[in-house]
Amino acid sequence: MKKFAKVLFTVLICAGIFSTVIYSSCSNKCGTTTCQNGGTCTNNKCVCPTGYSGNSCQTAWDDEYIGTYNCSRSVCHPGVAGTNAWQSAITKSATNGGYTVNISNFDNSNTTQVAIIDSAGNMKITPAAGTYGVSATGNFVSNTITANFTTYVTGGSGYSCIMTMVKE
């Protein structure tokens, strides 16, 4: 009888462990989708934590912005000499908790600007220290960044433009 009780006890423990594993592996399911990266299922939809998007929270916020862009500027005041078409690249930056990116060749100037682009696609560049500075705001929609920016030189004049960056 003691042997039967031990076997029964062992079977119940194994069944409990198995049920716990099955429940925990399915508890983050949203229909046929499994929420990733800490996403939780609410009303049969994955709700993503800050920094992730997609129907299963599979995309890191900055991955969609990273790449090469064909750029142009328009509506400059005062007018700007030189080419109005060039390429820039957006790369990940390790600063600001992952919410900053580097934009190389910003405004066809061979400089790199540090921008904050949040998970809603809003972009902001604050003026850099030194003699050359850029201030910009914009947004990312459908692989295109449209930004209003102003360049300035300490003690001198600058210009303001609208820039469009289309991801390749």
- Which structural domains are found in the chain, ordered by start? 2-60 (2.10.25), 67-167 (2.40.128.420)
Rounded average pLDDT over 51-58: 82
**Maximum Cα interatomic distance, the chain, rounded to a whole number of Å:** 96
Residue with token string 């469009």: 164
151: left (phi over 0), alpha (psi -120 to 50) or beta: beta
CB count within 10 Å of CB 153 equals 11
- pLDDT of 156 reads 65
- Number of neighbouring beta carbons within 10 Å of residue 90: 23
C-alpha to C-alpha distances, 106 to 32, 33, 123, nearest whole angstrom:
43, 39, 14
Res. 25 pLDDT band, cuts 50 70 90: very low
Query: Is it the case that residue 21 has pLDDT exceeding 60?
Result: no
Lowest mean pLDDT among 146-150, 152-156, 157-161: 152-156
- Residue 79 pLDDT grade (very low, low, confident, very high; cuts 50, 70, 90): confident
Whether the predicted pLDDT of 95 surpasses 70 = no
User: For residues 114 and 24, what is the distance between their CA atoms, to the nearest angstrom?
Assistant: 41
The H or E element that residue 125 is part of is strand 122-125
pLDDT of residue 94: 65
150 vs 98: which has the higher pLDDT: 150
> Does residue 24 register a pLDDT over 50?
no
pLDDT(144) > 70: yes
pLDDT band at 137 (very low <50, low <70, confident <90, very high): very high
